[in-house]
């Protein structure tokens, strides 16, 4: 095993006990709160929410129970339920002590899959009492996630509740671990050239997770006698009587092996769901060539990757730890599995849905890794291989990959009450749940796919730009043109594990060697000769500066659009582009940012170009911004902002805003606008109601700032303190489509901007 193949430990976050307690206690104690989804500001609101308005949906549900999914939270609500008999690795500490864990589980549902969740702690260890408590809660929820319940009671409870309830009941300690481990095993088998039907597997640990792993893998194609289950007393074989129960007996194998060491001799793979130190050096040595070891005991695995590396160098190893590669982490499964099940109103989560989730996870690990994932590895981008067989929890693609697979399996097996007709639209909806920008960008991407463009990626030698170009092409958005030296681009791609060979949708253009550079130089000289530039200056800019070369390609029709900025400051990149491309006749070049926060989309201008705009410039900025809003599908309501509102307090600077409104009046524009007004008046209905004469019919969705500095400061504060998603600044008003990303942008940022350029969001 080479150095770059060896398992590497990533630094684990550290904290003191006091810090952990403070985290849970600060502000509002705990990790959850209830936030109404409907307005509750007026008496009418309250009358609709409760009496008498609530009687209408009550009667509708009484007549047709399925209406509960339409009129209540049931369609997106999961209960996380425990009795605290097997809390994490801490054991039986009781129902109340389990509450912080169950709250945390509920938070994960929301964070990763936008599933609303509430924790319920049931204070009994009696399985029948627990079942009778939970079974009657069915009308409240769309699904039940059982958690931290000890074996064998967990088997009894889940099986009985599945029979009694018409919603998914899922014990995550069993099936979550099984699904993620199965996904990793699929890829490990692929890497070692093994056939599932012939692979010999040992599962050490016959508790909830061990039994579930065994059942799932057999359902996926493992031969029953090739899977040997072990517990603390050794191999579970046919005829054994000591320490047996019905769940162990179901997986008793015909084998002469009696100890774990016997079972591991010659085994291809082992799942550890037991305890620290369960696997010895001799056991690992006795396994077959290229063994697969999943040491999943927490917090300490049965054997560590460092210990395995000292014994042999041909191992693929996974653990449950985040500080090692190949973490078997349940958060990869349960949020997305429930998301898919809820979206088709499934009556259960069956074996086919679990297998679909495992296969989708395995396939995702084989795809190229986006920058959002690579960032967590401190620059060491993971690639499919021995140290990357399982996706990581922060992979943004999980939200649309796993639920789609689960939903489809539910429909195929007849357990979906509300099948999904348009899976492509469903994928877009899922992406929007995790990333609000994705929802806004979706229709732009769809439009670009229908009318694909040739987009120049000016900084073509940068790894993130190469990845963005490849993603742009793979998503069917058009052809990507990389500007740079071909040998350097191919070398960078090879080092990053990107295969550019034979890619029909990607072109590479070297400015110095291009047959078009003389034409571009002459074109640039004709533009700049009266601005102090000699021909050789223009020739040098074309040959040596990729922004000038790329912009010339767009200006002369050799490409449709351009994206740049990953390696230069925004203003520098814009100055380069403006040497080549003018403003569109009758338009003003501005920067506009797209802000998405708390389900609202607001455009803010000018965030990049005009430092202290005049009244005339403010009016023109408002017009350009309204045009962008319309191209995004919004009917513009423009607020010209100030620190004052309609003349109070009086100030000289506010007069400029008032003058801009008068200019718009004279221009007779076809969109709503008003000002000057403070930001809260523009964005808050109650505050706006204090000014009944305002021309805006609702809160503003376009904010025109009085100056560049206020626009830039406010959007950055909104992003950092308010948790808003901010896209841009977008360049608006140029005669050709060009977009500029922020310095150091990720590949995803670059793809988004390239799509916006291809869409010609700037007009």
Residues tagged active-site: 50, 105
What is the C-alpha separation between 321 and 279, in angstroms, rounded? Answer: 17
Q: What are phi and psi of 467, to 5 degrees?
A: -65, -40
How buried is 59 (Cβ within 10 angstroms: 0-12 exposed, 13-18 middle, 19+ buried)? exposed
Q: How many CA atoms lie within 13 A of 269 on its CB side?
A: 33
Residue that the structure tokens 């630094």 belong to: 11
The candidate with the shortest Cα–Cα distance to 286, out of 251, 262, 310, is: 262
Name, in order, each residue with C-beta under 8 angstroms of 54's C-beta and a sequence gap of 6 or more: 48
Q: What is the maximal distance between C-alpha atoms in the chain?
A: 97
Calculate the alpha carbon distances from 405 to 33, 217, 392, 409, 416 in Å.
31, 18, 18, 6, 13
DSSP 370: P
- Is residue 95 within 8 A of residue 123, CB to CB? The reply is yes
What is the C-alpha separation between 64 and 56, in angstroms, rounded? Answer: 12
Enter the tokens of residue 626. Answer: 């309204």
What is the C-alpha separation between 277 and 295, in angstroms, rounded? Answer: 10
The candidate with the shortest Cα–Cα distance to 77, out of 115, 119, 32, is: 115
What is the H or E stretch that residue 258 is in?
Answer: none
Q: Which residues pair with 146 in a beta bridge?
A: 81, 171
The candidate with the shortest Cα–Cα distance to 728, out of 704, 749, 702, is: 749
What is the C-alpha separation between 236 and 644, in angstroms, rounded? Answer: 78
What is the C-alpha separation between 549 and 556, in angstroms, rounded? Answer: 11
> Which contacts qualify for 109-112: CB closer than 8 Å, 24 or more apart?
109/78, 109/80, 109/145, 109/334, 109/335, 109/338, 111/335, 112/331, 112/335, 112/336, 112/393, 112/398, 112/399, 112/434
Q: How many Cβ atoms are within 10 Å of 53's Cβ, its own excluded?
A: 14
Enter the tokens of residue 680. Answer: 């809260």
- Is residue 510 within 8 A of residue 485, CB to CB? The reply is yes
What is the C-alpha R_g of the chain? Answer: 30
The candidate with the shortest Cα–Cα distance to 618, out of 568, 673, 689, is: 673
3-state secondary structure 106-135: HHHHHHHHCCEEEEEECCCCCHHHHHHHHH
Encode 130-147: b = buried (16+ Cβ within 10 Å), e = exposed: bbebbeebbebbbbbbbb
DSSP 17: H
Q: What are phi and psi of 4, to 5 degrees?
A: -75, -5
The candidate with the shortest Cα–Cα distance to 314, out of 193, 227, 178, is: 193
Q: What are phi and psi of 177, to 5 degrees?
A: -60, -40
Q: How far does CA 351 lie from the centroid of its chain? A: 26
Residue that the structure tokens 């021309």 belong to: 695
């Amino acid at each position: 095993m080479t150095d770059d193949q060896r398992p590497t430990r990533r630094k684990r976050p550290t904290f003191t006990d006091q810090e952990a307690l403070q985290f849970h206690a600060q502000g509002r104690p705990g990790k959850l709160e209830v936030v109404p989804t409907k307005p509750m500001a007026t008496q009418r609101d309250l009358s609709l929410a409760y009496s008498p308005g609530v009687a209408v949906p009550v009667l509708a549900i009484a007549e047709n129970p399925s209406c509960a999914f339409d009129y209540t939270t049931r369609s997106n609500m999961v209960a996380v339920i425990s009795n605290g008999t097997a809390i994490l690795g801490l054991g039986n500490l009781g129902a109340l002590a389990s509450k912080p864990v169950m709250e945390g589980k509920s938070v994960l549902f929301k964070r990763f899959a936008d599933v609303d969740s509430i924790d319920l702690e049931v204070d009994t260890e009696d399985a029948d009492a627990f079942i009778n408590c939970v079974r009657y809660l069915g009308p409240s929820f769309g699904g039940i996630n059982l958690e931290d319940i000890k074996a064998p009671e967990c088997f009894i409870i889940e099986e009985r509740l599945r029979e009694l309830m018409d919603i998914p009941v899922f014990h995550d300690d069993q099936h979550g671990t099984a699904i993620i481990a199965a996904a990793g095993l699929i890829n490990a088998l692929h890497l070692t050239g093994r056939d599932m039907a012939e692979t010999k597997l040992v599962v050490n640990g016959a508790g909830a997770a061990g039994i579930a792993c065994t059942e799932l893998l057999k359902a996926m194609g493992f031969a029953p006698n090739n899977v040997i289950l072990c517990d603390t007393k050794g191999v579970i074989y046919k005829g054994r009587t000591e320490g047996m129960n019905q769940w162990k007996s179901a997986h008793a194998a015909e084998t002469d092996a009696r100890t774990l060491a016997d079972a591991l001799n010659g085994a291809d793979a082992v799942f550890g769901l037991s305890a620290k130190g369960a696997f010895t050096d001799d056991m690992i040595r006795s396994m077959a060539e290229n063994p697969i070891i999943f040491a999943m005991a927490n917090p300490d695995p049965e054997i560590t990757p460092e210990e395995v590396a000292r014994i042999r160098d041909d191992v693929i190893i996974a653990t449950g730890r985040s500080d090692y590669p190949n973490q078997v982490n349940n958060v990869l499964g349960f949020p997305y599995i429930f998301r898919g099940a809820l979206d088709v109103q499934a009556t259960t989560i069956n074996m086919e849905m679990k297998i679909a989730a495992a296969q989708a996870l395995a396939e995702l690990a084989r795809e190229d890794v986006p920058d959002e994932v690579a960032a967590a590895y401190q620059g060491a981008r993971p690639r499919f291989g021995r140290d990357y067989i399982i996706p990581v929890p922060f992979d943004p693609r999980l939200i649309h990959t796993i639920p789609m697979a689960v939903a489809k399996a539910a429909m195929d097996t007849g357990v979906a009450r509300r099948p999904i007709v348009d899976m492509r639209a469903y994928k877009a909806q899922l992406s929007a749940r995790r990333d609000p920008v994705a929802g806004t960008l979706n229709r732009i991407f769809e439009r670009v796919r229908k009318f694909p463009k040739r987009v120049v990626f000016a900084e073509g030698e940068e790894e993130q730009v190469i990845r963005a170009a490849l993603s742009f092409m793979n998503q069917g958005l058009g052809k990507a043109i990389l500007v740079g030296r071909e040998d350097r681009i191919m070398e960078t791609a090879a080092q990053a594990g990107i295969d550019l060979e034979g890619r029909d949708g990607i072109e590479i253009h070297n400015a110095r060697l291009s047959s078009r550079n003389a034409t571009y130089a002459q074109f640039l000289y004709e533009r700049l000769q009266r601005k102090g530039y000699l021909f050789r200056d223009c020739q040098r800019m074309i040959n040596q500066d990729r922004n000038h070369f790329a912009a010339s390609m767009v200006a002369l029709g050799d490409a449709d659009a351009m994206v740049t900025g990953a390696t230069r400051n925004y203003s520098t990149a814009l100055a380069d582009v403006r040497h080549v491309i003018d403003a569109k006749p009758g338009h003003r070049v501005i920067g506009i940012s797209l802000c998405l926060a708390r389900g609202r989309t607001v455009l803010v201008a000018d965030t990049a170009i005009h430092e202290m705009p005049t009244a005339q410039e403010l009016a023109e900025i408002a017009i350009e911004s309204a045009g962008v809003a319309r191209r995004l599908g919004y009917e513009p309501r423009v607020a010209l902002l100030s620190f004052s509102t309609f003349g109070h307090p009086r100030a000289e600077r506010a007069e400029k805003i008032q003058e801009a409104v008068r200019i718009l009046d004279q221009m007779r524009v076809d969109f709503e606008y008003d000002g000057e007004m403070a930001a809260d008046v523009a964005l808050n209905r109650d505050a706006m109601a204090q000014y009944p004469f305002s021309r805006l019919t609702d809160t503003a969705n376009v904010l025109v700032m009085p100056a560049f500095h206020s626009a830039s400061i406010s959007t950055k504060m909104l992003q950092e303190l308010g948790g808003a998603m901010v896209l841009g600044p977008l360049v608006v008003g140029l005669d050709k489509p060009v977009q500029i990303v922020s310095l150091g942008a990720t590949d995803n940022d670059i793809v988004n901007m390239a799509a916006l350029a291809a869409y010609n969001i700037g007009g």
